[in-house]
Amino acid sequence: MRILKVTGSLSRQAGGLFTSVRRLSQSISELGHEVHVVGIDDADYETDQKNWGPLLPTALSPRSAMAAATFFGIKREIVNFQPDIIHQHGIWLPISHAVSQVAHPVIISPRGMLDQWAIANSKKKKKIAWALWEHRNLRNATYIHALADAEANSIRQVLPNANITTIPNGIDSVTDIPIKEITQNKTKRELLFLGRIHPKKGLQELLSIWPHLNSETRRNWTLIIAGPDENAHRQELASTAFSLGLNDDIVFVGPLYGDDKKAWLRRADAFVLPSKSEGLPMSVLEAWAYGLPVLMTKECNLSIGFKTRAALEMVYSAESVDAALNTPNLAAYGDRGRRLVKTHFSWLKIAKETVDIYERMLT
């Protein structure tokens, strides 16, 4: 089968999509299918290109990301590659305009971008995109791919007649976790946030409740905030931390990639994602792969984590965070999370389920 993957950024600038789209494409290729990826070049793609191997994506000029050249670039790839299936990852970009013009079977993965919070963010621009191409593109797709049941429900609110299939993201298992390293300078346990520094991640709300945690929690825990900044939100968070007197409680470590990222995942004692909106967060799957107990909101769309006691649900209250961080035998949640990703979220399993949908599209 010949599968064309269409996405936005091809680098770490895509956040979790960089890992999820890349590893799904590679895993489907390993099953013997011919996969070609087309997306947008950017400042980090030269560094990250090697991670796509053995696939060789076509990177369109970043200047074309919001221009007619995107349309013609993707159309050219379709003509040259002659795919059996087109799988689009992400929406609200002109890639949708190009895909909406083709006659091939199309499956679209909104990746959380049809969630009500996401739609309300930059609402005017999305209204224009919806009117010009996005509604037509989604309406004409053979399948809409949701990452979780909650995302499927969000999609149905917008597209009640959509043909929806639900398949989660995957994660690579981690087999070489040594005894916690870089611990010689630790005086407190560390709660790690690792992701984009963006208002939807709920960090402002988490900082606002931190002063109200009980004295034992604050004495025993430090919040580590790691990830790339978006729209100067890190400065807003730093100002909040300063105004609340949290300089001894909060540490900003900047973006983490490669070995630096692995080191912090090994070092941390727990992971937090206080998000307001997600598709299915790769960061939580990564935390589980490293055996970390997870605190997250229900908006992270990983209810299986609560059901299997691999995660603790948090809301924006000091009582909620206090209870979670002082849970007896907290480390056992991380052990259960590690088992969970091995049984439910392996990339081979996810790739096979996705190929089953592709085959159904061709019958």
Single-letter amino acid, residue 360: R
Name the residue range of residue 256's domain: 189-344
Q: Are 69 and 121 within one domain?
A: yes
In a domain, 68, yes or no: yes
Q: Are 120 and 239 within one domain?
A: no
**Which letter does DSSP use for residue 102 in this model?**
-
Specify the long-range contacts of residues 133-137, CB closer than 8 Å, at least 24 apart: 133/94, 133/96, 133/97, 133/100, 134/91, 134/92, 134/96, 136/100, 137/88, 137/91, 137/96, 137/97, 137/99, 137/100, 137/106, 137/108
Q: Are 13 and 85 within one domain?
A: yes
Q: Where would I find the beta strands (DSSP E) of 124-183?
A: 143-146, 164-166
**Which letter does DSSP use for residue 89 in this model?**
E
Q: Are 50 and 104 within one domain?
A: yes
In a domain, 92, yes or no: yes
Question: Domain count of the chain?
Answer: 2
Q: Are 84 and 130 within one domain?
A: yes
Distance CA 167, CA 345 (A): 10
CA triplet 220, 223, 226: central angle to 5 degrees? 150
Q: Are 147 and 111 in contact (CB under 8 A)?
A: yes
CATH number where 220 lies: 3.40.50.2000
**Length of the chain in residues, anyone?**
363
Distance CA 217, CA 229 (A): 27
Single-letter amino acid, residue 33: H
Q: Are 121 and 250 within one domain?
A: no
The structure tokens 């929690």 sit at: 217
Q: Are 193 and 122 within one domain?
A: no
Q: Are 18 and 131 within one domain?
A: yes
Token pair belonging to 29: 């290729």
Beta bridge partners of 224: 192, 251
Specify the long-range contacts of residues 156-160, CB closer than 8 Å, at least 24 apart: 157/116, 158/114, 158/119, 159/114
Q: In what order do the strands lie in the sheet with 311-313?
A: 250-254, 221-226, 189-194, 270-273, 294-296, 311-313
Distance CA 24, CA 17 (A): 10
Per-residue pLDDT of the chain (363 residues; tens, 9 = 90+): 999 999 999 999 999 999 999 999 999 999 999 999 999 999 999 999 999 999 999 999 876 445 666 778 888 898 899 999 999 999 988 788 888 888 899 999 999 999 888 898 888 989 988 998 899 999 999 999 999 999 999 999 999 999 999 999 999 988 665 544 444 467 899 999 999 999 999 999 999 999 999 999 999 999 999 999 998 999 999 999 999 999 999 999 999 999 999 999 999 999 999 999 998 999 999 999 999 999 999 999 999 999 999 999 999 999 999 999 999 999 999 999 999 999 999 999 999 999 999 999 999
Single-letter amino acid, residue 174: V
Q: Are 237 and 219 within one domain?
A: yes
**Which letter does DSSP use for residue 212 in this model?**
G
Q: Are 198 and 163 within one domain?
A: no
Token pair belonging to 171: 């994660």
In sequence order, what are the residues at sequence separation of 6 or more whose Cβ sits closer than 8 angstroms to the Cβ of residue 229? 197, 235
Distance CA 134, CA 137 (A): 5
The structure tokens 């990177």 sit at: 59
In a domain, 139, yes or no: yes
In a domain, 54, yes or no: yes
Q: Are 226 and 98 within one domain?
A: no
**pLDDT at position 73, please?**
84
In a domain, 181, yes or no: no
In a domain, 179, yes or no: no
pTM of the model as a whole = 0.87
The residue among 118, 115, 306, 133 whose CA lies nearest residue 198 is 118
Q: Are 48 and 148 within one domain?
A: yes
Token pair belonging to 169: 């993201």
